[in-house]
Amino acid sequence: MLIYNTKNHRKEEFVPIEPGKVRMYVCGPTVYDQIHIGNGRTFLAFDVIRRYLTYKGYEVTFAQNLTDVDDKIINRANEQGRTAAEVADEFSKAFIEQMHRLGVLDPDIRPRATREIDAMQEMIQILIDKGHAYVVDSGDVYFAVRSDDRYGVLSGRDVDQLRVGARVEENTDKRDPLDFALWKAAKPGEPSWPSPWGDGRPGWHTECCAMIHHYLGTPIDIHGGGQDLVFPHHENETAQAWCAWDDELARTWMHTGMLRVEGEKMSKSLGNFYTLKEVLDKYPAGAVRILMLQTHYRSPLDFSFERLDGAVGTLERLQTCVKNLRWAAHNSAQDGELNDADRALGAAIDTAVADFTTQMDDDFNTAGGLAAIFALVTAANTYLDQAGADTSTALALRASDAIVELADVLGIQLDRESASDLPAELVDLARAQAGYEGDSAEEAAEVLLQARQEARAAKNWALADAIRDGIAALGLIVEDTAAGARLRAKKD
């Protein structure tokens, strides 16, 4: 399996540090506002990477932080007359909610900067003791970039060149403009914690590095984020790790391309953004995922609502195919010998699964993975057109399961049991027999099964039979299983 490693500028065979296990970390958001869909793209890309590694059989431990103390949060709090903690709490919850709506799996570990101050102070102290950091009169602590000969290796930057371009800040006692803050002395009205260097708060680059070391152990296998984090954030993170613990922070560094609108990076500061929330209020998560996964994660992604509308159609095509396959399977009488058409569909399923893996093994080529799924959809649609009443139940179910499972690796959730499996007449039956008042066939089915159960318990055999017969008249049978009764289509 090949993964592009930013550090070495090439795709490399992925070999985890501990066989069968992957420890990965992706820098999380600064929680001062709703995230935009550019941020969403990065988090979604790593969700798929994690899902695929799990699909390949790796035991993945995934950590992602919440940056809940930062200038942006403090500024927002001051504007709104609230505390920084209140702002951070509101937008931490908002972030997690939108991630759930997008179908992004929760990290195994979600550390929050404000709760990990000890780990950060411990790392800063090691850096000071080893001569890589220094305390100035104000109480700030800085990392001495020049003390690390490897500085610049990750992002391919030369320290002397950087020096020429560096902005010389006013009111700082940094020894070198390239040095960055590990600890910022407290200012009035800002949250702060006690430390050996005086009250203050951690710097952003310090946070991820210390939390990775604390929760996952360094080095980790994969560290990710958007391309805009390569420098200075990740360069600074790995510099701290080398200097504190004599090894790099991560073996493989992965970075996502920027989501753009009309050729420009989507960002809060440019004002050209759509929040993930507003997009998910209008579009299904599956469509957002399809749009984003049609482009390779390292390439820039050009967002437009026209493309998103197109993705809605693509999602429907997937869902309709699954629905038709299941419907055909329910209604088919054919369960015996396979014919040529069945065998062709069987081969298409195997090819799709193999192609999907080949594409995804090549640095998570999700566009290729989607194409493999759609090749199967095309084959399945052709099969359904040709097979008619002769559909093989087993093959139709295998094809629909394969589509659902491969889509799931990309985090695209399809309904396995689709609504149209159940006839709408169930609603009338439930109204007549069980006093149901809604109009969903699924609910009606549950209400009817429940009513039949209760009638039987009460030895009201007439009612129980009437319900069963009414269901049978709709071409369904009641099947009593260990997990309770359920409906299925009659095969003959």
What is the contact surface with ligand AMP in residues (CB under 6 A)?
A: 27, 29-30, 38-39, 41-42, 225-226, 228-229, 256, 258-259, 265-267
Only one residue has tokens 């914690």, namely 193
Smallest CA-to-CA distance from 300 within 256, 258, 254 is with 258
Residue 208 binds: one of Zn ion, ligand AMP, none (C-beta under 5 to 8 A by kind): Zn ion
Q: Which is nearer to ligand AMP, 223 or 326 (CB)?
A: 223
Do 452 and 467 form a contact (C-beta atoms < 8 A)? yes
- Residue of minimal CB distance from ligand AMP? 226
Full DSSP string of 98-124: HHHHHTPPPPSB--BGGG-HHHHHHHH
Angstrom distance (rounded) from CA 135 to CA 182: 10
CA atoms lying within 13 Å on the CB side of residue 275: 13
Q: What's the residue count for the chain?
A: 492
* Residue whose CB is less far from ligand AMP, 54 or 267: 267
Query: Which of ligand AMP, Zn ion, none does 256 bind, CB closer than 5 to 8 A by kind?
Result: ligand AMP
CB of 295 to ligand AMP, least distance (A): 11
Rounded CA separation 395/341 (Å): 10
CB of residue 250 to Zn ion, shortest distance in Å: 11
Distance of closest approach, residue 209 Cβ to Zn ion, in angstroms: 8
Shortest CB 380 distance to Zn ion, Å: 43
Residue written as token pair 């008619």: 388
Q: With contact defined as beta carbons under 8 Å apart, do 42 and 256 qualify?
A: yes
**Least spacing, CB of residue 28 vs Zn ion, in Å:** 8
Residue 30 interacts, among ligand AMP, Zn ion, none and using kind-specific CB cut-offs from 5 to 8 Å, with ligand AMP
Residue 174 touches which member of Zn ion, ligand AMP, none, C-beta under 5-8 Å by kind: none
Give the nearer residue to Zn ion in terms of CB position, either 27 or 220.
27
324 binds, among Zn ion, ligand AMP, none (CB under 5 to 8 A by kind): none
Q: Of the two residues 35 and 290, which places its CB atom closer to Zn ion in the complex? A: 35
CB of 473 to ligand AMP, least distance (A): 55
Residue 266 interacts, among ligand AMP, Zn ion, none and using kind-specific CB cut-offs from 5 to 8 Å, with ligand AMP
Q: Indicate which of ligand AMP, Zn ion, none lies near residue 98 (CB less than 5 to 8 Å, by partner kind).
A: none
Under 8 Å between Cβ of 219 and 241: yes
User: Across-strand partners of 66?
Assistant: 112
**What is the spatial distance between Cα 124 and Cα 180, in angstroms, rounded to a whole number?**
12
Q: Shortest gap between Cβ of 474 and Zn ion (angstroms)?
A: 57
Say which entry of ligand AMP, Zn ion, none residue 228 contacts (CB below 5 to 8 A, set by partner kind): ligand AMP
- Give the tokens for residue 239: 């510099």
Output the smallest distance, CB 83 to ligand AMP, in A.
20
Q: What is the closest distance, in whole angstroms, from the C-beta atom of residue 298 to ligand AMP in the complex?
A: 11
Q: Which of Zn ion, ligand AMP, none lies near 40, with the C-beta cut-off 5 to 8 A by kind? A: none
Q: What does 38 bind: ligand AMP, Zn ion, none (CB cut-off 5 to 8 Å by kind)? A: ligand AMP
| Burial group, residue 431, by CB count within 10 angstroms (0-12, 13-18, 19+) | middle
Whole-number minimum distance, CB 353 to Zn ion, in Å?
35
Residue 69 near residue 113, CB atoms below 8 Å: yes
Q: Which is nearer to ligand AMP, 258 or 422 (CB)?
A: 258
Q: Which is nearer to ligand AMP, 197 or 297 (CB)?
A: 297
Closer of 32 and 383 to ligand AMP (Cβ): 32
C-alpha–C-alpha distance, residues 220 and 17, integer Å: 8
- Residue number with CB closer to Zn ion (234 or 296): 234
Longest pairwise C-alpha distance within the chain: 91
Q: Which is nearer to ligand AMP, 112 or 398 (CB)?
A: 112
Written as six digits, the tokens of 18 are 């501990």
CA distance between the termini of the chain: 47
Residues that bind Zn ion (CB under 5 A): 27, 208
Q: What's the one-letter identity of residue 257?
A: G
What gap in Å lies between CA 434 and CA 452, rounded to an integer?
Answer: 9
Tokens of residue 289, six digits? 């995922």
**Residue 422 to residue 232: CA distance in whole angstroms:** 56
For residues 351 and 402, the answer to whether their CB atoms sit within 8 Å is no
Nearer to Zn ion, 27 or 325 (CB): 27
